A and B are shown apart, each in its own frame.
Chain A
């Protein structure tokens, strides 16, 4: 009987990088990637930025190039995996087809959380995660359109910048006191708000949308502070939920993403790993031994790539019956998150876990221009953000990379 394939569920960045990395680490057997979108892997970051702004072309040019090493990978798109039986080593898709795996890699990512508000409007409400979402939104961001954005995180702010550039009337409603507060802290968030306001974006912070009114076309939204905004398009950018329902009936910990050990092996409720089941990318909640914060998922650009390489470095020797995979699994895994955002002509780059900081400090420059901001937790540098100043950023990045594991926390 033929060896069953490595099955990767999720055909986006994490799935692609897992397939590539399996080949790099010497696995020569069959690989099957199953994705629910009709598309092969493509870049998501431009969906809220340049691609949304380009009436022709760029949305069609987001597909990742495929390396020759993965030319024999089987891609099954438009197919949703609805359940997994980890004891039987099988997954089942929405058409009832059951497939056996030698190893399973969960790369199903996250989906946008939606607002659950009354008001009757069903047309005019948008979320942004997929290329099809971006196409739909692009078609309605026309000059003069009144756009309300629920959520003042990166996606909300990037869409705001793009929409105002397209001539829309843009109003951001966020629950924090300044936009992007969780990632950037108060001071840099306030400075970014000022940049948006210079371009004409309005903000209502410290409140939320409580109703989306219209039958069925959206006409107004209500805010918790009692105000009503006229509105043609509501963009819901209020965070994400991990796509774990299809696997959560197994003995796994899916309370906040899918919890893994430092080898990206999905763990059981008792913390022991499933030896042949892995998770990568946005869906994976992995340990952060150098921060002492427990397991957490990190939805930043480089993490699907880093976690895919980590998983593949264990899977390839494991499937070759090479016991060294246990040694690989025991080495520390402390990838440094990196992320960036483009809003107007501001290009902001960050390293580290700025979200866990209890304090931020301007290290250099000017918050209204080029600047460097350091993020600290218990007086220890945990992240840095820069607008420009790339060379100095790299110096701080080295400091973040060089940090020892926190005492008393095992990998």
Chain B
């Protein structure tokens, strides 16, 4: 499993991660970020893409 962490003090809810890893990240009805904290290993590349593209560099993961 991969543990995903978003630093919510940094997150500005730009939603870039939602585009890269839609099964992990989503914007709720109020445009606020929600995410799954534990995901399967086969999501690794998608999460890496989300980490890369986050404008605030707020996402990290631990395997």
A binds B: yes
Binding site for B on A (CB under 8 A): 17, 20, 24, 43, 45, 64-65, 67, 301-302, 305, 338, 340, 342, 347, 349, 388-391, 393-394, 397
Contact of B13 among A301, A342, A390 (CB under 8 A): A390
Q: Are B15 and A43 in contact (CB under 8 A)?
A: no
Q: How many residues of B contact A (CB 8 A)?
A: 17
Q: Are B27 and A391 in contact (CB under 8 A)?
A: yes
Write the nearest CB–CB distance from B37 to chain A, whole angstroms: 18
Q: Is B1 an interface residue (CB 8 A)?
A: no
Q: Are B55 and A340 in contact (CB under 8 A)?
A: yes
Write the nearest CB–CB distance from B22 to chain A, whole angstroms: 10
Encode B32-63 as 1/0 by CB contact (under 8 A) with A: 00000000000001001000110101001000
Binding site for A on B (CB under 8 A): 12-16, 18-19, 27, 29, 31, 45, 48, 52-53, 55, 57, 60
Query: Which residues of chain B are within 8 angstroms of A301 by Cβ–Cβ distance?
Result: 53, 55
Q: Are B15 and A394 in contact (CB under 8 A)?
A: yes
Contact of B19 among A305, A389, A391, A394 (CB under 8 A): A394
Query: Which residues of chain A are within 8 angstroms of B60 by Cβ–Cβ distance?
Result: 65
Complex Cα distance, B51 from A64, in Å, reads 10
Q: A389-B31, A390-B31, A394-B27 are in contact. Are A305 and B53 (CB under 8 A)?
A: yes
Write the nearest CB–CB distance from A16 to chain B, whole angstroms: 9
When C-beta atoms are compared, the residue in chain B nearest to A349 turns out to be: B14
Write the nearest CB–CB distance from A40 to chain B, whole angstroms: 15
When C-beta atoms are compared, the residue in chain B nearest to A306 turns out to be: B53
Write the nearest CB–CB distance from A404 to chain B, whole angstroms: 20
Write the nearest CB–CB distance from B33 to chain A, whole angstroms: 9
Query: Which residues of chain B are within 8 angstroms of A17 by Cβ–Cβ distance?
Result: 52
Contact of A43 among B14, B18, B19, B57 (CB under 8 A): B57
> 13 pairs across A/B with beta carbons < 8 Å?
A20-B48, A24-B45, A45-B55, A67-B48, A302-B16, A338-B53, A340-B55, A342-B12, A389-B31, A390-B15, A390-B27, A394-B19, A397-B19
Write the nearest CB–CB distance from B18 to chain A, whole angstroms: 7
When C-beta atoms are compared, the residue in chain A nearest to B10 turns out to be: A50
Given contacts A24-B48, A394-B27, 16 further A-B contacts (CB under 8 A): A43-B57, A301-B55, A302-B16, A302-B53, A305-B52, A305-B53, A338-B16, A340-B55, A347-B12, A349-B14, A349-B15, A349-B55, A390-B14, A390-B27, A390-B31, A393-B15
Query: Which residues of chain B are within 8 angstroms of A45 by Cβ–Cβ distance?
Result: 55
Write the nearest CB–CB distance from A346 to chain B, whole angstroms: 11
Write the nearest CB–CB distance from B3 to chain A, whole angstroms: 15
Query: Which residues of chain A are within 8 angstroms of B48 by Cβ–Cβ distance?
Result: 20, 24, 67
When C-beta atoms are compared, the residue in chain B nearest to A308 turns out to be: B52
When C-beta atoms are compared, the residue in chain B nearest to A45 turns out to be: B55
Query: Which residues of chain B are within 8 angstroms of A388 by Cβ–Cβ distance?
Result: 31
Query: Which residues of chain B are within 8 angstroms of A67 by Cβ–Cβ distance?
Result: 48
Query: Which residues of chain A are within 8 angstroms of B52 by Cβ–Cβ distance?
Result: 17, 305
Q: Which 6 A-B pairs have the closest CB atoms?
A: A390-B31, A390-B15, A340-B55, A347-B12, A391-B31, A305-B52
Write the nearest CB–CB distance from B17 to chain A, whole angstroms: 12
Query: Which residues of chain B are within 8 angstroms of A338 by Cβ–Cβ distance?
Result: 16, 53
Write the nearest CB–CB distance from B41 to chain A, whole angstroms: 14
Complex Cα distance, B13 from A342, in Å, reads 12
Most buried by A among B27, B45, B53, B55: B55
Query: Which residues of chain A are within 8 angstroms of B19 by Cβ–Cβ distance?
Result: 394, 397
When C-beta atoms are compared, the residue in chain B nearest to A43 turns out to be: B57
Complex Cα distance, B14 from A389, in Å, reads 9
Complex Cα distance, B52 from A302, in Å, reads 8
Contact of A347 among B14, B29, B45, B53 (CB under 8 A): B14
